[in-house]
Amino acid sequence: MSAATPRAVPDAVPRVPRGLPRVVSLVPSLTEAVAVSVSGTLVAATDWCSHPADLDVVRIGGTKNPAVDRIVRLAPDLVVANEEENREPDLTALRQAGIEVLVTEVRDVPGAFRELERVLAACGAVTRPRWLDQAETAWAELPAPGRRTTAIVPVWRRPWMVLGRDTFAGDVLSRLGVDNVYARHQDRYPRIPLPELKAAAPDLVVLPDEPYRFTAADGPEAFEGLPCALVDGRRLTWYGPSLAAAPRVLGEALRPADC
């Protein structure tokens, strides 16, 4: 997924509706959740915040390298961040500038719902958004999976990296009947040589289109002979409105085709 074209910081500080906090989001999934739930409160987001498609806010760099000085000049009341996606030195610098920073920690689906409620409340939401109810219902009513499937889930190549222990995406897959081969690895995103990945002989290789953009022409060829499933990375790794349709969309995508 390509980054949005950054906008220069305007001379005038963007305004928000009266009574709402001025919010900067450093997390694409939280950007989407706030934008569709508390209209007008976002003043800036990262270059990688691609949803909603019509999002029109100042862009302040990437999740790993936000322009802290530009954020400070925007004078937000709140910056929303994530302990995995954002770097502690950047968050510390924002706090030292007198800006409140709300840091989320999401390792599973229930935790995502709790953190989303916390973020939306901090951003001024006075009612619970309908999409959040729909998402919780979709995951609560998920039928028990039949035969479980083992999988490896690459998230990068050159070098090859996969999902390891204690990840949100791993929990999503587990609830859909897919067991991550490396779920008990000591690292959350271990680097595993390709021959070792192939030797693990999983039932399935799950290839998302982010953070590395695996495609039919880039990824499956490395796992010749193993069934592969190309999946929407937003449905697998984002916690926000995409969670409502994620069980259905991922369930359909996880029906593998031979590489």
Global pTM reads: 0.88
Mean pLDDT value across residues 173-179: 96
* Average pLDDT score over the chain: 92
Tens-digit pLDDT profile for residues 1-45: 444 444 444 445 566 666 789 999 999 999 999 999 998 999 999
* pLDDT value of residue 147: 86
Under 8 Å between Cβ of 61 and 46: yes
Under 8 Å between Cβ of 149 and 203: yes
DSSP-derived letter for residue 220 is: G
Please name each of the domains of the chain with its CATH number.
Answer: 23-128 (3.40.50.1980), 145-258 (3.40.50.1980)
Q: Which residues contact 206 (CB under 8 A, 6 or more apart)?
A: 151, 152, 153, 154, 173, 178, 228, 229, 231, 236, 254
The Cα–Cα gap between 229 and 216 comes to 9
Tens-digit pLDDT profile for residues 94-138: 999 999 999 999 999 999 999 999 999 999 998 999 999 999 999
